[in-house]
C-alpha cells in the first residue's frame, strides 16, 4: 500500500475543505489500496460525521444519511415497511460483517469487480486509461451486455444501487465549493464511452451527504438476484421491481437491473411494454425483448442475455401474481 | 495510537497504513484473530467493534481509536469458555481450527443482530425473524471454513441460540 496522510473530518464542510479522498467504511477503498489500484495521498476519514440517520420527510419520503451502514438501512423499520425492495437488495449483498461497515455513500461508489481491473499485471482502461481492455477477449463471464463501449465492458457491482434506481432515489451532495447539489440516480452514473475511469458525475472532492427516496410507491416490490453461490457472491443478473396492478392490468412499473451494465440499468421501453397490459407471460416476454434488444455478449457472458430474460419474467410473475 | 481492546487500553505506534488486524496480531500479540485473505472474503479476521462484527482486515487501525474492540481472547479463556466456545468443542465445529475464532466472534455478533430483529436474505418475512438452520447458514456466510465443518458449526450455534436446526 502506498502511504498517505490521515485526518478525521469533524463536519461535512470540513470534509470537503480538507481536499482529500474520503474513507467511510473502507471496505472497497482499502481493498483497492492494498493492491495499489487506488493510491490516495490524503485520506479524509468521514466515518464519524453526523450523517448516520434515516429520517421521514414531510412529503412522506425518506432521507438516508450517507453514513448509514448497509445493515442498519436494511433493518430500518421504515425501509422494511415502505421500501422492502431496498432491504432485500441490501441483504442480498456482501456478508453480515461487511454490511456492518459498508455505508450508503460508499456502496454507491464501489468500483467494478472486473477481474482485470483487479489484476495490475493486465491491461485495463479503467485503471490505466489508454492501456487497453483485457476483458474484451478474455475471461468476461461476469461482465456487461448492455451500455458497454469498445473501451470497457465492466459492470457496476452494487445491489443497493439497483433498488435505488427502481425507487427513483436522489443523491444529495456537498461540492468542494460548499454548494449543495441534488442528482437523480438516473443521472448519477456515466456510461464508459472512451473514459471508463470516470464513473459518476461527481466532481473531485464532492461529498455525498444524503440519499433521498420519494414517498413510498404503490405496488408490490421485490429483488431477485442470481449468482454463482447462494450467498456472499456478486450478482450475475439481478432485478429490482416495483409493479402495481389494478383491475387486472399493470398500472405502473419500475424495473432496474444489476449485473448487466456499467450502471444500475433502467429502460423506459421495458416499462412501456408493461403498463396498461394484462399481466401474462406474453407481455413479460415483450418487456424482456425491449430490455435486451441492444444486448451484446462477449463470449463467456453470452449466457447473461437469456438469464436476464428468465429472471425478469420470473420477477414479473411474482410481483403481479401472474401464474406461469 | 490508543486502543481499547478486551477492556484494556494499549498505546502503540504502528504505520498509518496498518489494518486493525495487523495491529492486533503484530503489535499487540493478539494472534487469536486470524488472517485468511486480507481482503474481506473469508471472515477469519472477524472481531467485534462496539458490539458489531466486522472484518478487521478491511479497516484502518487509526480509525478505531475511540472504539471498544472485543477479540476472541476477550470472549473467553481456557478456564472460562464462552458458551459458543463450549458448543464448538461439543459439536466438533472445526477441524484445523483456523477459521474458528472468526466463526465464534461472528456468531456472537450475529446472535445480537437476531436479538435486534434484523432480517436476513432468507427471511420470508422481513418483520419477524425465526432463527433456524437456513437462517444461521445465511447469516454466517461471511465466514468460510476450508475444512467444511459447516454442519457442526451450525449445530453449535443453534444449540447456544436455542434454535431449531432444520
Ligand atoms: C468480499 C466482498 C463481497 C462483497 N459483495 C457485495 C455484493 O454482493 N453486493 C454489493 O453490492 N456489494 C458487495 N461488496 C461491496 C461492498 O458493498 C462495498 O465495499 C461497500 O458498500 C463500500 O462502502 P464503504 O462505506 O466501505 O466504502 P469505502 O470503501 O469507504 O469507499 C468507497 C468509495 O466511495 C468513496 N466515498 C465513500 N463515502 C463517500 C461519500 N459520502 N461521499 C463521497 N465519496 C464517498 C470513497 O472515497 C471510495 O472511493 C462486497 C465487498 C467485499 C469485500
Ligand atoms: S472491462 Fe473495463 S474494468 Fe475490465 S479490463 Fe476492460 S477496461 Fe478494465
Ligand atoms: S482476513 Fe479478513 S476477511 Fe479474510
Ligand atoms: S476448521 Fe479449518 S478452516 Fe474451518
Ligand 3: centre distance to CA B144 (Å)? 10
Cβ atoms of A141 and A237 within 8 Å: the answer is no
H helix and E strand count, chain A: 13, 11
State residue A285's pLDDT score.
98
What is the number of residues in chain A? 324
Please write the tens of the pLDDT for every residue from B22-67.
999 999 999 999 999 999 999 999 999 999 999 999 999 999 999 9
Give the alpha-carbon dihedral of A279, A282, A283, A284, to 10 degrees.
90
- Which backbone phi and psi does A194 adopt, to 5 degrees? -100, 15
User: Is the pLDDT assigned to residue A65 strictly greater than 70?
Assistant: yes
A170: helix, strand or coil = strand
CA–CA distances in Å: residue B72 to residues A221, B1, B67, B81, B104: 40, 22, 16, 10, 8
Query: Ligand 1: does its nearest atom lie under 6 Å from the Cβ of A142?
Result: no
| Distance in angstroms (rounded) separating the CA atoms of residues A221 and A254 | 9
Ligand 4: centre distance to CA A232 (Å)? 18
The total of other beta-carbon atoms located within 10 Å of residue A54's CB is 19
**Cβ-Cβ contacts under 8 Å, A75 against chain B:** 113, 116-119
Residues in CB range of A5: below 8 A, 6 or more apart: A20, A41, A42, A43, B16
Q: Do domains B2-74 and B83-161 have the same CATH topology?
A: no
| Distance in angstroms (rounded) separating the CA atoms of residues B137 and B101 | 17
Give residue A256's pLDDT band: very low, low, confident or very high (50, 70, 90).
very high
What is the predicted ipTM?
A: 0.98
Cβ atoms of A8 and A45 within 8 Å: the answer is yes
Cβ atoms of A275 and A266 within 8 Å: the answer is no
Please write the tens of the pLDDT for every residue from A127-138.
999 999 999 999
**Cβ-Cβ contacts under 8 Å, B111 against chain A:** none
Q: Which atom of ligand 3 is nearest to the CA of B35?
A: 1
Domains in chain B: boundaries = 2-74, 83-161
User: b/e per residue, A308-323, with b = 16+ CB within 10 A?
Assistant: bbebbbbbbbebbebe
Query: Ligand 1: does its nearest atom lie under 6 Å from the Cβ of A117?
Result: no
- Search chain B and give the residue with CA nearest A92: B121
CA A282 to chain centroid, in Å, comes to 29
Question: B120 and A91 in contact by Cβ < 8 A?
Answer: yes
CA–CA distances in Å: residue B164 to residues B116, B132, B133: 19, 5, 7
Q: Which atom of ligand 3 is nearest to the CA of B55?
A: 2
**Cβ-Cβ contacts under 8 Å, B119 against chain A:** 74-75, 80, 87, 91
Hey, what's the cell of B38? 486480507
User: b/e per residue, B82-107, with b = 16+ CB within 10 A?
Assistant: bebbebbeebebbeeebbbbbbbbbb
Q: Which of A27, A72, A112 to mutate to test the pocket of ligand 1 (most atoms within 8 A of CB)?
A: A27
Q: Which residue's CA is the nearest one to ligand 1's atom 3?
A: A94
CATH 1.20.1440.20 assigned to domain B83-161? The reply is: no
State residue A85's pLDDT score.
98
Question: B63 and A47 in contact by Cβ < 8 A?
Answer: yes
Chain A touched by B55 (CB under 8 Å): yes
**Cβ-Cβ contacts under 8 Å, B53 against chain A:** 96-97, 100
State residue A323's pLDDT score.
72
State residue B80's pLDDT score.
96
Question: B58 and A23 in contact by Cβ < 8 A?
Answer: no
| Distance in angstroms (rounded) separating the CA atoms of residues B53 and A57 | 31
Nearest CB partner across the interface for B63, out of A4, A45, A100: A45
User: Is the pLDDT assigned to residue A324 strictly greater than 90?
Assistant: no
Residues in CB range of A229: below 8 A, 6 or more apart: none
Q: Which atom of ligand 1 is nearest to the CA of A173?
A: 42
Query: What radius of gyration, in Å, describes the C-alpha atoms of chain A?
Result: 19
A194 vs A322, residue with greater confidence: A194
Q: Which CATH number fits domain B2-74: 3.20.20.70, 1.20.1050.10, 3.10.20.30, 3.40.640.10?
A: 3.10.20.30
CA B83 to chain centroid, in Å, comes to 14
Determine the average pLDDT of the residues in A72-95: 98
Maximum CA pair distance of chain A? 62
State residue B165's pLDDT score.
74
Nearest CB partner across the interface for B60, out of A26, A87, A97: A26
Hey, what's the cell of B130? 425465526
Phi-psi map region of B79: left, alpha, beta (phi>0 left; psi -120 to 50 alpha): alpha
Cβ atoms of A274 and A254 within 8 Å: the answer is no
Please write the tens of the pLDDT for every residue from A6-26.
999 999 999 999 999 999 999
The answer to pTM > 0.80 is: yes
State residue B163's pLDDT score.
83
State residue B164's pLDDT score.
79
User: Is the pLDDT assigned to residue B166 strictly greater than 90?
Assistant: no
DSSP structural state of residue B23: I
- ∠ CA B54-A236-A159, nearest 5°, is 45
Write out the DSSP string of A94-107.
S-HHHHHH-BHHHH
| Distance in angstroms (rounded) separating the CA atoms of residues A143 and A154 | 5
Amino acid at each position: 500500500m502506498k502511504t498517505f496522510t490521515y485526518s478525521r473530518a469533524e463536519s461535512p464542510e470540513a470534509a470537503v475543505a480538507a481536499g482529500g479522498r474520503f474513507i467511510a467504511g473502507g471496505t472497497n477503498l482499502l481493498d483497492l489500496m492494498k493492491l495499489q489500484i487506488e493510491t490516495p495521498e490524503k485520506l479524509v476519514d468521514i466515518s464519524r460525521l453526523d450523517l448516520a440517520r434515516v429520517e421521514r420527510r414531510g412529503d412522506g419520503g425518506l432521507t438516508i444519511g450517507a453514513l448509514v451502514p448497509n445493515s442498519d438501512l436494511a433493518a430500518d423499520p421504515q425501509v422494511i415497511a415502505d421500501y422492502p425492495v431496498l432491504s432485500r437488495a441490501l441483504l442480498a449483498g456482501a456478508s453480515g460483517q461487511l454490511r456492518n461497515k459498508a455505508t450508503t455513500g460508499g456502496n454507491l461508489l464501489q468500483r467494478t469487480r472486473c477481474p482485470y481491473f483487479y489484476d495490475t499485471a493486465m491491461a485495463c482502461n479503467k485503471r490505466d486509461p489508454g492501456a487497453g481492455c483485457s476483458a474484451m477477449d478474455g475471461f468476461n463471464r461476469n461482465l456487461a451486455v448492455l451500455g458497454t463501449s469498445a473501451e470497457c465492458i465492466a459492470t457496476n457491482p452494487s445491489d443497493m444501487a439497483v433498488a435505488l434506481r427502481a425507487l427513483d432515489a436522489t443523491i444529495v451532495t456537498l461540492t468542494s465549493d460548499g454548494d449543495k447539489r441534488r442528482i437523480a440516480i438516473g443521472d448519477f452514473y456515466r456510461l464508459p464511452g472512451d473514459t471508463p475511469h470516470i464513473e459518476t458525475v461527481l466532481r473531485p472532492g464532492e461529498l455525498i451527504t444524503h440519499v433521498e427516496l420519494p414517498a413510498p410507491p404503490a405496488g408490490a416490490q421485490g429483488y431477485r438476484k442470481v449468482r454463482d453461490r447462494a450467498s456472499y457472491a456478486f450478482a450475475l443478473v439481478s432485478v429490482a421491481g416495483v409493479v402495481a396492478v389494478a383491475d387486472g392490468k399493470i398500472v405502473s412499473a419500475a424495473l432496474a437491473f444489476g449485473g448487466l451494465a456499467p450502471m444500475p440499468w433502467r429502460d423506459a421501453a421495458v416499462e412501456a411494454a408493461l403498463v396498461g397490459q394484462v399481466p401474462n407471460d406474453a407481455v413479460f416476454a415483450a418487456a424482456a425483448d425491449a430490455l435486451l434488444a441492444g444486448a451484446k455478449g462477449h463470449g463467456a457472458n453470452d449466457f447473461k442475455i437469456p438469464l436476464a430474460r428468465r429472471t425478469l419474467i420470473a420477477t414479473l410473475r411474482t410481483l403481479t401474481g401472474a401464474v406461469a | 495510537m490508543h486502543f481499547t481492546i478486551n477492556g484494556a487500553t494499549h498505546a502503540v505506534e504502528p504505520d498509518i497504513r496498518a489494518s486493525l488486524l495487523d495491529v492486533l496480531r503484530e503489535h499487540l500479540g493478539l494472534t487469536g484473530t486470524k488472517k485468511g485473505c486480507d481482503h474481506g472474503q473469508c471472515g477469519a479476521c472477524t472481531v467485534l467493534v462496539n458490539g458489531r462484527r466486522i472484518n478487521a482486515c478491511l479497516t484502518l487501525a487509526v480509525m478505531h481509536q475511540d472504539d471498544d474492540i472485543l477479540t476472541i481472547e476477550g470472549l473467553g479463556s481456557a478456564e472460562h469458555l464462552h458458551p459458543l466456545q463450549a458448543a464448538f468443542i461439543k459439536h466438533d465445529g472445526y477441524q484445523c481450527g483456523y477459521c474458528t475464532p472468526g466463526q465464534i466472534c461472528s456468531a456472537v455478533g450475529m446472535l445480537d443482530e437476531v436479538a435486534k430483529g434484523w432480517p436476513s436474505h432468507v427471511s420470508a418475512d422481513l418483520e419477524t425473524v425465526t432463527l433456524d438452520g437456513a437462517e444461521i447458514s445465511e447469516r454466517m456466510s461471511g465466514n468460510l471454513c476450508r475444512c467444511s465443518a459447516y454442519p457442526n458449526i451450525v449445530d453449535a450455534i443453534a444449540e447456544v441460540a436455542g434454535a431449531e436446526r432444520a
